[in-house]
Amino acid sequence: MWFTVPIYLRSSEPADGDVLLEEAIHLIEAESEEKAMEKARALVNKLEHRYPNVHGKEVRWSLDGIGEPWELLDDLRDGAEIYSRFLNEKDRSTPRRPSADVGNRRG
């Protein structure tokens, strides 16, 4: 089975005075939702990173949360639906939210 799993990273440096987050949707092949979460947690180690910015200050990207896995019900092919949700117009720019999973480091 294939799943999409959103992984949220947080920058140690704000952007224009606001917290900077990255939401990346990852494609994961697993036998179950639980195995997909295990693979997503393992993937985080490869995604967290640091580098010096143009001002010489170290920027760290670290885990902010892992969202719920979503099983893909469509075959992987050109034009396949990877993700959909129902939302109100006011929620259009709101990303998927991290689940209450213990892997989240928010708060």
Q: Residues 6 or more apart from 9 whose CB is under 8 A from it? A: 21, 22, 24, 47, 48, 61, 62, 63, 64
Q: How far is CA 58 from the centre of its chain?
A: 22
Confidence grade of residue 93 (pLDDT, cut at 50, 70, 90): low
pLDDT (average), residues 75-99: 71
Confidence grade of residue 92 (pLDDT, cut at 50, 70, 90): low
Joined together, the tokens standing for residue 22 give 């990255």
Would you state the pLDDT for residue 97? Answer: 60
**pLDDT tens string 14-65:** 878 888 889 899 999 999 999 999 999 999 999 999 999 898 989 999 999 9
Tokens 């920027």 label which residue?
59
- The radius of gyration of the chain from alpha carbons, rounded to an integer in Å, stands at 16
pTM (global) more than 0.75: no
Extract long-range pairs of 10-16: CB within 8 Å, 24+ residues apart: 10/61, 10/62, 10/63, 10/64, 11/59, 11/60, 11/61, 12/58, 12/59, 12/60, 12/61, 12/62, 13/53, 13/57, 13/59
Tokens 């092919």 label which residue?
77
Would you state the pLDDT for residue 13? Answer: 87
